Every structure is written in C-alpha cells, then in structure tokens.
Amino acid sequence: MDRQAEPAAFAKACAYLNYRKTAKWTALAAGTGTGVVYVALLVVLWLFVDLMVYRGRLPTSLSLTPLQQTRFFNEWNALDSDAKKDRLEAIELDGEKVQQLLSIDDLAASSREDRRTIWRAHVGHIIEGRIGVGALSTVDGTEGVDFTADVGITSLVVRSHAEGRIVTPMLAAAARWVPWMRNANGGGVISPYLIGLLLSGIGLALLGAVLMYLMREMAARASIEAATRLRRAVYHHTFRLGTLAIRALGPSEAVSMFARHIEAVHDALYTRLTVYYRAPIKCALLIAFALFVQFWLALASLMLAILVWLVGGQVAAYFRRQGRTATHQASEHLTIMRESLMLMRLVKCYIMEPFNQNRVERQLTRYTRVQMIRYRGDAIYQPLLVLLGLLCVLLLLFVAGILVLSGQLTVAQLAAMSTALVSLYRPLERWIEARRLIRRGRDSADNVFKFLERRGEVGQVVGAEFLPPLAKQIEFDNVTLREPGSGRLLLEEVSLVIPAGKRIGLIGADDLEKHALVYLIPRLLDPTNGEIRVDQHNLRWVTLDSLRAQIGTVLMHNLVFHDTVANNIGCGDNAFTLGQIIEAAKVAHAHHFIQKLPQGYETPIGELGHSLSISEQFRIALARAILRDPALLIIEEPEAAFDEETKALLDDTWTRVLPGRTVVFLPHRISTIRSCDTLILLHKGRVHATGIHKELLAQNQLYRHLHYIEFNEMVEQV
C-alpha cells in the first residue's frame, strides 16, 4: 500500500465532516472546554485542600515558614521610616510604641512580641494593597487583625504574597471581585467560602458533563453524516462497476467497503473529533497547571516519568520478544510430542518404545526450558516496571516533603499538582488507542477512495437510442471478456446466435463463464472485444433502461431480499397494483404459500425476515420476472433437488410463461435440459459444442462427463 496516499485519502474522508461543519467545530470546541473545566476543578480542589489545612486563618508571625519569614524581614527592612510609621499607625498603636518599633534596625534580631506586632501591621497592608480597603472589614479584630477567624481566600492571598508567588495577583483579583470567597458575609463552620467552593465544584462538574455530552453528540452527528455520504457514494459507484457484477456471490468487495472499511473510517473520524485533539490539549493544560503550581517539582516528575517509560518500555519490549520466541519454540516442541503420540502403531510394530520415549523426554525438557524462559521474562519485567515506578514516586515524595517543610510548597499545592500529574495517564492512554484507531481508519479510507476512483466499465453514451422490443435474435459476434480487476480470460471469441422465441440452455463446468455470458446481455458488463447485437442494434448504443426493461432475471444469489413479499415481487414500483402482483404470484405458483405466511403479502422475508425454502424463494423471484412480462427471461435453476410436487408446479409455470418468449436457462434439472431448443456447451471461455440434449449426449464426451457429474446416472445409449 502506498503509505503517502493514506493521509491524502483520510484527509478526503475528514473533508466529509464539513457537511456538518457546525457539529464538527462544536465537538472540537466542547472537547477543548472539557479540558479547561477539568483544570478548573483542580483549582477548586486546591482551594478545598488549602481551606482544610489552614482553616481559612491568616498566618501568624510564629506560623510563618522560613521562606515567608525571610521575605517578610526583607520587605520590612526595605521600607523607609514614613512607610513603616503609616503601617504601624494603621493598627492604632500609641506614639511611644511606634517609635520603639521604628528604632529596630534588624527585624530578624528583634523580640517575638515586636515581630508579632509588625507582622499584624504588615498583614493589614497586604490585604488593603492586594484586595482593597473594604477587605479589611472582614478581618478586623480587637487588635486590628483577627488571626483566629476564617477569612476564606484572604488567608491564601496573604500566604501567597509572603512567598512571592506569581499566582498572588489572580488570587487577589478573585477575592476582590467575588465577596463570598473572603467570607464577606460571615463565618462559622459552614462558611460562605466553603459553600461557594462546593457550588463551584458542582457547577463545573455539571458544565463538564454537558460539554462531554455536547462533544459526543456533535461528533456523532458529524461522523455519521460523513459515513452515510461515503456509504451512499459506494452504493451508487457499485452499480457503475462491472467488476462487482461478475462474481456469483455478488458485490462482496462493495459490501466490504460499505460495512467494514467505512465503519473503520467512521470510528476514526469520531475518535478524531472526541479524543485525537482533546487528549493532547487536556495533557498540555494539565502539564501547564502542574508547572504553574511548582515548576521544578513538576518538571522533575515529568522527566522521571519519561525516563521510566523509555527504560521500562525497552526492558518490556525485550522480554516480550523473548516471550514470543519462547512461545513459538514451545509450539514446535508440542507439535513433535503430538506426533510421537500418533506413532503408537509404528512404535509397537517396530518395538521402538525406548527410542520414542527418549524423544518425548527430550522434547519435554526443551518445552519446559522455553516455557520457563517465557514465564521468567514476565516475572522479571512486570515487577521491574512496578519497582521503577515506586522508586520514582518515593523519590518525588521525598523531594515534595522537603519542599513542604521548607515552605516552598503547600500541602494543597502538592495535592493539586499530584492529581494533575496522575490525571495525565488516562488521556495519554486514550490518545495512544486513538492513534491505533485512526491508523486503521487511514488504511480503510485509502481502500474506500481507491474503490470510488475506479472507473466504471459500463456507461450509457450520449444520444443512445431506444431499443425496440426483441423480434429476431440476439447475436454475439467474436465476444471476448476479461474479468475486470483480475484480467482473467472468461470468454474468448464467442460467436453465437439466440433466435427470438427459443429456449437456450448454457452448460459448462465453470459457473463464472456462464454468468459472464448472461451478464453481458443486460449490460451488467461490456465485452472487452466484439459486439453484442439485438436485432442489429449494438447494445453499447442503446439506452440501458430500454434494454433492461425487456429482460427478466432469476439468479440464484439474488432471489429475495429483506422486505415484504409484495415489495419483493413489485420491487417497490407503484406502477404495479397488488392485484397484478397476486396474479403474477399465481402464475409462478407462489400465491398458495404466500397466503399462509403470518401477514400474507405484507410478511417481511429475506435474511432478517420470515425464512423461506429455496423453492419458495425461487417462485417469488419467478413472479417478479413474470410481472414485468419481459421479452427475454434469464433463469438460473437451483442446484438443490426439488420434490415432485414443486417440479410439477414449475413445469406448469414453464408451460404458461415460456411459449413465444426467448429464454436463456442455466439449467440444473434434466427435464429443463431436454426441453431446450439448443444447448450451448462452454469450455475454457469458448463455445465447445451446440445442439440438443440427445445429440450432445451421443456425440460429445465432455458433455457426457458433465452430465454424469451433474446427475450421476447412466448415460443414455443412442
């Protein structure tokens, strides 16, 4: 297969999604939205855990981490005297206390009480500067700032500022514009902040569910529309390809395209809209979130994961190859041991029990050795992968513990980042699976579009004439036919005449040759060379409708289809009334058993409907042909033997229908063969002999041979 053609073919298939362009882009947008919502849920998780750990309280000077203390000392020492004085006076200290605190040159060396007072003044400034003056009212206490109250996200804003994190402005903006996040309406155990986080989580979960539904619904609409249009194209193109008419089992290639290949393309298109782009976007958002929370720890985690994947993948691949080799060798040893068990008669006759037993023992030893290799590989690489993963997790937990204890990472941040990194597994797994489905879809798309781009072998020329009713003869003039696609020679320079009103029987060992000849008459195929004429009208120059309207076919592999009996006979043509359909069924001796069906003529039959015997199916197909009163009948008799009653019914039908009508039989009944005016014996694509049954039986050895094989009876002696 041309690998470069695959993406181009799949791109054509993807272009069919544009028939539902709105659905396509809605699915892609909704898929991206699910990733954004998931990250937003991680943010809510972060805030939940932070609230549970710190209970929404402002950090005291004693609870500051070393990192926060260092940053606090540096910020305070960098202020000038006026700024320090303004902050101290804001918490209503007396002048003497203010002067005492202003005289401190190094805050780190001051007393605990002094640091506590200065930190209280500093916290008020952080809240006022970051959130706004109004936010101070939610944290006011008896000493200016209440360090025991649940102040919601304000606690996180202060701690984030103290650590100098880049997320601080975003947290402050949330606190500034969403009052409930800073418990502006009160506190208590069930605070507005806690309720708000709960409702936010529920809202995001509902939004994610809606987006997921929307993505799948719109992706289904777009991909089903694309698959439907492809199937419609395959259906219409099937009837332009003689390649598909020639085989006795029907258009199996088109069925494969219609079902298996287009279904694979459909799955690939649906996966493309729901997973192929969404999974990488979600992974990118999760990685970005993890890096945002703690860049170096997240980066180290990703590097270790990639390392484990590379090393573990190579180790696993090595042991899997070894296991496959061992399995193959074990199968060979089992084959030899089975052979030894089948040699019992030989072993007993030649008194070779010790020899054979030694052979079996050697094979058992080798079988045991290779099986141990296989299971030992499984025993090594699977625990090894688990060990590598656990070591990496333990190492990361150790580093995370150091960062948490040093104040560079909070427990809430660790929980959110860990959840984000763990959440990478599912979209990566689905993306890998999506690549497999899309690769299969590309292969199928290549097959589908190669099929659709194949030129039709049968067409109607511009200005084709109307074919008058058959009056004289059908003439084959040096007709040669090669099977489309394979190039196999089916007919070679066939010349024959079928007089109007006569019964012709086609005899031959190769059913494909006989079918090829009758398919040429209604132009299901066109000959490679030569001409076929009806009353001197070349079939290539007449309209297909006027030609096929004169022909009724009863072919074994298209007797009935899944629909009502009435539609099977009338083919859904409103020009035929139910009365006409019933009359045709009576002529074909089908009316009697049709009446006994559960719904009569409205009974569904065919593969998915009511089951009919071959003789019943054959008579319904006969009724279909009789209804149209064709000038030419092409009838292929079933190979299965009929009972005597059915034979009598068919003979009665022939007596009513066939006189004065041109008939081409593909016979399998001796009575039909004997009734033919002329038998044409085909052999290796040529007309081997012509004549009536008795003449051919007496004069042609090949005919006698075929007759004996077909009917398994003593050949008549003439």
pLDDT score, position 2: 45
Q: pLDDT at position 224, please?
A: 94
Q: How far is CA 116 from the centre of its chain?
A: 65
Which value, to the nearest 10 degrees, does the dihedral of the CA atoms of residues 359, 365, 368, 372 take? -140
What is the reported pLDDT for 715?
40
661: left (phi over 0), alpha (psi -120 to 50) or beta: beta
Q: How many residues does the chain have?
A: 718
CB neighbour burial string for 112-135, b if at least 16 within 10 angstroms, e if fewer = eebbebbbbbbbbbbbeebbeeeb
Q: Which of 711, 626, 638, 701 is nearest to 674 (CA)?
A: 711
The one-character DSSP state at 165 is -
Lowest model confidence (mean pLDDT) among 10-19, 108-117, 215-224: 108-117
Query: Cα separation of 97 and 555, whole Å?
Result: 112
- Are 213 and 166 spatial neighbours (Cβ–Cβ below 8 Å)? no
pLDDT tops 60 at residue 368: yes
pLDDT at 622 over 90: yes
Q: What is the β-pairing status of strands 662-666 and 632-636? A: parallel
Spans of all domains in the chain: 58-148+151-186, 310-389
What are the tens digits of pLDDT across the range 384-404? 777 887 888 888 888 888 888
User: What is the number of H-type helices and E-type strands within the chain?
Assistant: 28, 12
Query: Is pLDDT larger for residue 37 or for residue 375?
Result: 37
The better pLDDT of the pair 439, 324 is held by 439
Give the strand pairing for 529-534 and 473-482.
antiparallel
- Identify the pLDDT of residue 280: 93
**For residue 716, what pLDDT is reported?**
42
Neighbours of 239 (CB within 10 A): 14
Considering the chain, what is the average pLDDT of its residues?
Answer: 85
* Tokens (6 digits) for 367: 């079988």
Residue 146 has a pLDDT of 65
Query: What is the predicted pLDDT for the residue at 142?
Result: 44
Average pLDDT over residues 490-506: 93
User: Tell me, what DSSP letter sits at residue 261?
Assistant: I
Reported in sequence order, the residue ranges of 590-683 that DSSP labels E, i.e. its strands, are 604-605, 632-636, 662-666, 678-683
Residue 184 has pLDDT above 90, yes or no: no
Q: DSSP letters of 679-718?
A: EEEEETTEEEEEE-HHHHHHH-HHHHHHHHHHH-SPPPP-
Residues contacting residue 87 through CB under 8 Å, at least 6 positions apart: 79, 121, 122, 124, 125
In the predicted model, what is the mean pLDDT of residues 621-630? 93
Q: Is 718 a residue whose pLDDT tops 50?
A: no
Under the banding of pLDDT at 50, 70 and 90, the label for residue 189 is low
Q: Name the one residue in this structure whose structure tokens are 């009334």.
A: 577
Average pLDDT over residues 525-532: 90
Rounded mean pLDDT, 216-239: 90
Q: What is the pLDDT of residues 414-458, one digit of tens each?
A: 888 889 988 988 998 899 899 999 999 999 999 999 888 877 666
pLDDT in tens, 42-75: 999 999 998 888 888 888 888 888 888 888 888 8
Q: According to the model, what pLDDT value does residue 714 have?
A: 40
Could you report the per-residue pLDDT of 93-145, keeping only the tens digit for each? 777 888 888 888 777 777 888 888 888 888 888 888 888 766 565 555 445 56
* 713 pLDDT above the threshold of 60: no
pLDDT at 15: 92
What amino acid is encoded at 469 in this protein? P
Burial of 345 (0-12, 13-18, 19+ CB in 10 A): exposed
Q: How many CB atoms lie within 10 A of CB 58?
A: 26
The segment with the largest mean pLDDT, out of 4-8, 297-301, 348-352, is: 297-301
* CB distance 334 to 366 below 8 Å: no
In contact, 150 and 275? CB cutoff 8 Å: no
What number of other Cβ atoms are within 10 A of residue 540's Cβ? 16
Q: How far apart are the first and last CA of the chain?
A: 59
Task: Give me 86's structure tokens.
Answer: 């303004």
**Contacting residues for 518 by C-beta, under 8 A, at least 6 apart:** 506, 553, 634, 636, 664, 666
- Encoding tokens for residue 83? 């700024």
**Is the per-residue pLDDT at 1 higher than 50?**
no
- For the segment 331-339, the average pLDDT, to the nearest whole number, is 80
Cβ distance 172 to 131 under 8 Å?
Answer: yes
pLDDT over 90 at 502, yes or no = yes
342 pLDDT band, cuts 50/70/90, is: confident
Q: What is the mean pLDDT of residues 145-164?
A: 80
* Residue whose pair of structure tokens reads 């937990």 in the numeric block: 397
Amino acid, res. 94: D
> Does residue 633 or residue 327 have the better pLDDT?
633
3-state DSSP call for residue 575? coil
Residue 111: the pLDDT is 82
Give the CB-side neighbour count of residue 350, counting CA atoms within 13 A: 9
